[in-house]
Amino acid sequence: MELSRRNFIKSTLAASAAVAAGISTNSSAVAQTQEVVVERWVKGVCRLCGTGCSVYVGVKGNRLVAMKGNVESMTNTRGYLCVKGMNIWKVAHHPDRLTKPLIRDGKGVLRPASWDQALTLIEKKFKEYHKKYGYDSVAYYGSGQCTTEESYTFNKLWKGGFGSNMVDGNPRLCMASAVAGYMSSLGSDEPAGAYADIEKSKTIFLVGSNLSEAHPILFRRVTRHKKDNPDVKIIVCEPRKTLTSSVADLWMPSLPGTDLAIFNGMAREIIKNGWYDKEYVKTLGRVTTGDGSKELTWDDYVKHLEKYTPQYVEKKTGCPAADVKNAAKMFAQSDATLSMWCMGLNQRANGVWANNLIHNLHIITGNYGKPGADAFSLTGQPNACGGVRETGSLAHLLPGARPVANKKWREFVEGYWNVQKYSINPSKAINPKPGMHAVKLFSSLGGEKDKTKPVKAVIMSTTNPAQTLPNVNKFIGGMQDAFTVVIDIFPTRTAQCASVVLPAAFIYEKGGVFGCSERRSFLTDKAVNAPGEAKADIWIAAQIAKRMGLTKLIGWANETNIDRMNELAWNDYIGCTANTEKTLKGATYKRLKESTVGVQWPCPDEKNPGTYKRYVRGMDPIFDNPKRYGYTIPDDAKEFFYARPHGKANIFLRDDPDNSEQTSKAYPFIMTTGRVLEQWHTGSMTMRIPETAAAHPHSFVEINEKDANRLKIKNGDIVKVESIRGSNILPAKIVNNTLEGVIFVPMHDQKADRMVNFICSDIVDPISAEPDYKVSAVKITKVSGPKKIDGRYLVTREEMNKKSFS
């Protein structure tokens, strides 16, 4: 080619311009995504938090392409979603999806296998261990993110088929204290009221909850309610200033682990000033202590509270004395007070007591039963209520959330399940002794050779204990040594420890029922097929049932259609619990399929619309036929806590012990943990969504500016946060609105040196066995100046073959 000097100059100029302007000379048309074309919208619930927003997923061909809110919803009214939920469908088609069963070979490498190979191995191991080490040597660890049908199936398989109560789940790590709180205070698990109480309330007490980030849709309902009704008073009590505090009329700071003093302090103020409801206390309250067996007097209660003067409370908690009085006044003198709490009260050394104390405040002020008044425990996971608590898929429960130790109920379930005939356990019965709770289970899990570890195998689904157990270093070895089967959609830390990994179907690929915080069960329809060979949990349970000789017990085991399997499991479940106060007998599968609002239990028959408010005649159908449920309710009782003898809720005398890990000279800071709006749990899903992960692509440690200045730590510096159990290396975020001496680390990062559970305290509540994630004693040391952090760390398929976590 002939190039004159002129042409050369021109070409050079053009070429450099082209590079600068980013012109690709090989420009093949990149199709601009125009308006997304949706062929059909499929009804369902959001995969994430316990709010239970209902949605429609948009489908084109066999792909999810969009999501929108259900405008008829009773939970996310007007169909609002949060940015996390709006994008969660994107994980379905992510390339990292597990699509084939994997079996770990002798060299520690996970190799693809067929379902038959994987299931045969599982069958072999289960049968071997049952024989060698007993029926309690094989456990199931479930999740509040599995569907109700799946949890019910596995629970029945274990408790009815194997005669083993070695069934527990991750709600043990989040809701167990709330469960025990409800059971001991009111006699029955789960809230009396519903979200509808938000718009009817006059005072809202938000405590132990970062509502704005953990339940953003409910936060919007609260803030909108306040905007439309400026007289509504909102109290926020928390250990660090969060966005939630912006809506507060009264902000009560409280050092982590100390707020029991505040609740007792508020009660003292309420009683001293005569702001309590004498009549309500007389007819519907009962003073007690300890396990609730011995009744005490009102005077005993008043005397017990004397210690909790505002000055005492201020000294203990850091909450100003005047605020205790103001809070008491706002709480007691409103026409309707609604309390909402979550992990801040549950994940505590005395979480059950914290729950009891909130119930106390409501009982003494008569704040149940009427519109806008309730002690409402928010659930973190989308199906901890429906799938685990209500089906009784915990070590000490049976369906209907009744204790396995309750002989009458146990015998009923044995009969209903025909355990006598179908169980493969020679006892031919449900074991009356509770199994192991989560922390105990994983402490007892280990290899065959380890005689100190009686549990040799565990199968778990939709949960990640190798990242979420407190003091997690203690449990990783056991998981690696035992025969561990992990069902999941993505590689996780737990899958990294597994002997067998089974690829799972995502909620929109299998369908099923989720029951949210407000007792509302909602059915998600299957929208698309699962990728590769991924299967629904219920199918996996069915195969195990068949192989273990329990096809008759699990009547749906031979079905091939997942929807049919789900329906049969659901029918079995609602039949089993039809005569409990949690009855969903009226929520037939057909009704759930057609409904755009779901069904709130108790719902005893198809005509019943579902129950907004429990324990109130005219609203709660239990009143119409109490005998059916084993209760006695006086005919003239308008309000009655029928699950408790004489219908009286318990006012508990509780102390404020210092059972959390205490700070010391060596470990002078209190570390508290929590979440951020944009991430979910261990980040295996949300770290894979760039749009939302951009806000928080990795963990950090939030340090008060004054503390930071003392330690000469600047914004972005890399610091080591260390407890006696372990440490993390984290970038510092300097803030000026948290409490001095308190630091905060979120829970979502998978990177080994940013997994906060290496640090967390493994003290558990003595009643519920729920760990005290909220209080750990740590020290902070500067490691270096600011460094670039590679965010969105993900455990890969390759890393799953390594023994150590990077």
Partner 1 sequence: MIFTSAVLYFDKDSYKKLLPFIESHTEVEVYEKDIDAGKLILVISTEDDAQLEVIQKNFLANDLVIDFTYHAIHFGESVDKLIEGKIEIDFEDINSKKKNKLQ
Partner 2 sequence: MSLINKIKLFLNSFDDNEYYRINRMRPPGAVDEKLFMKLCVRCSKCIEICPYRVIKRSDLTKNLEAGTPYIYAEEKGCQLCMNCTSVCPTGALDNKLTYFRDTRIGVAIVDDTICLNHLLYNQEEAGIADGTVAVCNQCFNSCPLKFDAIYLEDMILPTITDKCTGCGICTESCPTSPQKAINILPNGMADINSAGYKQYLKRIEKGGR
In one letter, which amino acid is 801? N
- List the interface residues with partner 1, window 25-84 (CB under 8 A): 25, 27, 29-30
Is the Cβ of residue 26 or residue 804 nearer to partner 1 in the bound state?
26
| DSSP secondary structure of 428-449 | -S--SS----HHHHHHSB--TT
Is the Cβ of residue 28 or residue 452 nearer to partner 1 in the bound state?
28
State the helix-helix crossing angle for 176-186 and 351-364, rounded to 10 degrees.
40
- Find the part of the chain contacting partner 2 (CB under 8 A) among 358-366, 420-428, 517-525, 780-788: 780-788
The answer to whether 475 and 466 are in contact (CB under 8 A) is yes
Q: Collect all residues with Cβ–Cβ distance below 8 Å to 12 and sequence separation of at least 6.
A: none
Query: Considering the rule CB under 8 A, would residue 86 count as an interface residue with partner 2?
Result: yes
Query: Considering the rule CB under 8 A, would residue 452 count as an interface residue with partner 1?
Result: no
The answer to whether 291 and 247 are in contact (CB under 8 A) is no
Is the Cβ of residue 12 or residue 62 nearer to partner 1 in the bound state?
12
Q: What CA–CA distance (Å, rounded) separates 70 from 780?
A: 46
Is the Cβ of residue 8 or residue 694 nearer to partner 1 in the bound state?
8
Is the Cβ of residue 14 or residue 695 nearer to partner 1 in the bound state?
14
Binder of partner 2 out of 78, 428, 590, 803 (CB under 8 A): 78
- List the interface residues with partner 2, window 672-691 (CB under 8 A): 676-678, 691
Binder of partner 2 out of 60, 79, 127, 320 (CB under 8 A): 79
Q: What CA–CA distance (Å, rounded) separates 251 from 266?
A: 14
Closest by alpha carbon to 776, among 786, 766, 787, 762? 762
* Minimum distance from residue 438 beta carbon to partner 1 (Å): 54
Binder of partner 2 out of 60, 63, 202, 220 (CB under 8 A): 220
Cα radius of gyration rounded to whole Å, the chain: 27
Q: What CA–CA distance (Å, rounded) separates 355 from 263?
A: 10
Query: Considering the rule CB under 8 A, would residue 593 count as an interface residue with partner 2?
Result: no
Phi/psi for 724 (5° steps) reads: -70, -15
Q: Collect all residues with Cβ–Cβ distance below 8 Å to 469 and sequence separation of at least 6.
A: 173, 438, 439, 442, 475, 757, 762, 771
**Alpha-carbon distances, residue 193 vs 318, 528, 760, 790 (angstroms):** 32, 35, 34, 45
Is the Cβ of residue 7 or residue 561 nearer to partner 1 in the bound state?
7
How many residues bind to partner 2 according to rule CB under 8 A?
A: 53
The answer to whether 511 and 525 are in contact (CB under 8 A) is yes
Q: Collect all residues with Cβ–Cβ distance below 8 Å to 163 and sequence separation of at least 6.
A: 135, 419, 423, 424, 425, 427, 428, 429, 430, 431
Indicate which of partner 1, partner 2, none lies near residue 581 (CB less than 5 to 8 Å, by partner kind).
none
Binder of partner 2 out of 558, 737, 796, 806 (CB under 8 A): 737
Query: Considering the rule CB under 8 A, would residue 1 count as an interface residue with partner 1?
Result: no
Is the Cβ of residue 34 or residue 560 nearer to partner 2 in the bound state?
34
**What residues form DSSP beta bridges with 377?**
341
- List the interface residues with partner 2, window 301-340 (CB under 8 A): none
The DSSP 8-state label assigned to residue 649 in this structure reads E
Query: Considering the rule CB under 8 A, would residue 3 count as an interface residue with partner 1?
Result: no
Closest by alpha carbon to 338, among 202, 183, 537? 202
- List the interface residues with partner 1, window 183-242 (CB under 8 A): none
Binder of partner 2 out of 11, 418, 529, 715 (CB under 8 A): 715
Largest CA distance in the chain: 107
Residue carrying the six token digits 């909130």: 358
Residue carrying the six token digits 């619990």: 577
Indicate which of partner 2, partner 1, none lies near residue 9 (CB less than 5 to 8 Å, by partner kind).
partner 1
The answer to whether 425 and 612 are in contact (CB under 8 A) is no
Binder of partner 1 out of 3, 13, 666, 695 (CB under 8 A): 13
Indicate which of partner 2, partner 1, none lies near residue 23 (CB less than 5 to 8 Å, by partner kind).
partner 1
Is the Cβ of residue 1 or residue 230 nearer to partner 1 in the bound state?
1
Whether cis (ω within 30° of 0) applies to the bond prior to 602 is: yes
Q: What CA–CA distance (Å, rounded) separates 730 from 725?
A: 16
- List the interface residues with partner 2, window 28-67 (CB under 8 A): 32, 55-56
The DSSP 8-state label assigned to residue 27 in this structure reads -
Binder of partner 2 out of 44, 50, 85, 253 (CB under 8 A): 85
**Alpha-carbon distances, residue 501 vs 102, 138, 296, 308 (angstroms):** 5, 17, 53, 53
- Find the part of the chain contacting partner 2 (CB under 8 A) among 77-85, 94-102, 270-278, 438-446: 77-85
Query: Considering the rule CB under 8 A, would residue 709 count as an interface residue with partner 2?
Result: no
Query: Considering the rule CB under 8 A, would residue 24 count as an interface residue with partner 1?
Result: yes
Query: Considering the rule CB under 8 A, would residue 20 count as an interface residue with partner 1?
Result: yes
- Find the part of the chain contacting partner 2 (CB under 8 A) among 139-147, 264-272, 325-333, 715-723: 715-723
Q: What CA–CA distance (Å, rounded) separates 332 from 330?
A: 6
- List the interface residues with partner 2, window 353-382 (CB under 8 A): none
- Find the part of the chain contacting partner 2 (CB under 8 A) among 106-114, 241-249, 582-590, 767-775: 241-249
Binder of partner 1 out of 1, 2, 4, 21 (CB under 8 A): 21
The DSSP 8-state label assigned to residue 697 in this structure reads S
Query: Considering the rule CB under 8 A, would residue 16 count as an interface residue with partner 1?
Result: yes
Is the Cβ of residue 18 or residue 109 nearer to partner 1 in the bound state?
18
Measured in residues, the chain has a length of 806
Indicate which of partner 2, partner 1, none lies near residue 14 (CB less than 5 to 8 Å, by partner kind).
partner 1
Q: Collect all residues with Cβ–Cβ distance below 8 Å to 311 and sequence separation of at least 6.
A: 321
Binder of partner 2 out of 21, 29, 31, 36 (CB under 8 A): 21
Q: What CA–CA distance (Å, rounded) separates 502 from 541?
A: 12
Query: Considering the rule CB under 8 A, would residue 441 count as an interface residue with partner 2?
Result: no
* Minimum distance from residue 737 beta carbon to partner 2 (Å): 6
- Residues near partner 1 (CB under 8 A): 6, 9-11, 13-14, 16-18, 20-25, 27, 29-30
- Residues near partner 2 (CB under 8 A): 20-22, 32, 55-56, 68-71, 78-83, 85-87, 212-213, 216-217, 219-220, 223-224, 226-227, 241, 243, 246-247, 676-678, 691-692, 694-696, 714-717, 733-734, 736-737, 785-788
